[in-house]
Amino acid sequence: MFEIVGLPPETAVGYRFTSVEIKEKAFRFDGIFIPDSVDKNIWFVEVQFQKRAEFYWEFIGEIFLYLSQYKPEHDWQAVAIFAKRSIEPEIPKQFRALFAGGHIERIYLDELPESESPSLGLVKLIVAPKKETIALAHQLADRVGQVDRERMIEFIETVLLYKFPQMSREEVEAMFTLGDLKKTRVYREAKLEGKLEGKLEGKLEGKLEGVKIGTQRGQVLGLKQFASKLLTRKFGKVTLKTVKRLEKLSAEQLQELAEAVLDFEKVADLDAWLKSRQ
């Protein structure tokens, strides 16, 4: 083989020739943009908010497994999106040519340039420090055009509910003017059902506890799913036992876990943390 590729036969010294069986692992992309014509590239997208040494091995493995199975006519590109530069693992030397050739781009959300784009504003809102979030939310709401205003306000409210789980939806809504709130689907549906509780520049009609309880339950469910995904990315598959232990955590504890998981180095750290909370 070495002679065939133009190298001296002595090159074979130090090698062991063998046949290896490759077992496939189940993969799922965060997202794929599939074009409608062959002159456009397929875009593979992966988002990472925790540092994982295996990230590039798995991401690039997913890409080539997809290409092998689907054999698309299109060329491809990929983007790895990190919350910040410090959580990006080292690029394995086996893949450096893919980066040098422009096939894979890297984006750091906390380094995005200032922009008037509402879409980029939403991204910056997600990764912004809590102390800056409220001001950014107001700035974003102020510069959104009337056409997209309702959808944007709803998205901002959702982001704030996840970042501030101790706040009720009514408190989040109170951050915006009454005029903005009345244009959102969230307000109209709650008003229609007669279940909206809270004060928005005075008392609004309806005071049933259902919306508040339902919102709190929805927040807890969302936090449980978020925590489970974080743990899966950190340690691989989450055991049924761990899932049951997550079920017992309050919204506040789930929020604490989402922050604490960044410092966990092994599953034992997670077990110790859960044990201290139960």
Taking 50 as the threshold, does the pLDDT of residue 208 lie above it?
A: no
Give the pLDDT mean for 102-127: 87
Residue 102 DSSP one-character state: T
Give the pLDDT mean for 242-246: 79
Percent of the chain with pLDDT strictly greater than 90: 25
Q: What is the pLDDT of residues 143-173, one digit of tens each?
A: 776 667 777 878 888 888 888 777 777 777 6
Q: What is the pLDDT of residues 44-71, one digit of tens each?
A: 999 998 889 999 999 999 999 999 988 9
Taking 80 as the threshold, does the pLDDT of residue 74 lie above it?
A: yes
Taking 80 as the threshold, does the pLDDT of residue 225 lie above it?
A: no
Predicted local confidence at residue 175, as pLDDT? 62
Q: Which residue has the higher pLDDT, 194 or 107?
A: 107
Question: Cα separations (Å) of 237 from 102, 233, 240?
Answer: 32, 8, 9
44 three-state secondary structure:
strand
Taking 50 as the threshold, does the pLDDT of residue 268 lie above it?
A: yes
Give the pLDDT mean for 189-200: 49
Give the pLDDT mean for 233-248: 75
Q: Which of left, alpha, beta for 166 (phi over 0: left; psi -120 to 50: alpha)?
A: alpha
Given a contact cutoff of 8 angstroms between Cβ atoms, the answer to whether 51 and 261 are in contact is no
User: What value does the mean pLDDT of the chain take?
Assistant: 77
Predicted local confidence at residue 199, as pLDDT? 46
Give the pLDDT mean for 210-232: 58
Q: What are the residue ranges of helices labelled H in 174-239?
A: 178-182, 185-193, 210-235
Most confidently predicted of 20-34, 53-67, 200-214: 53-67
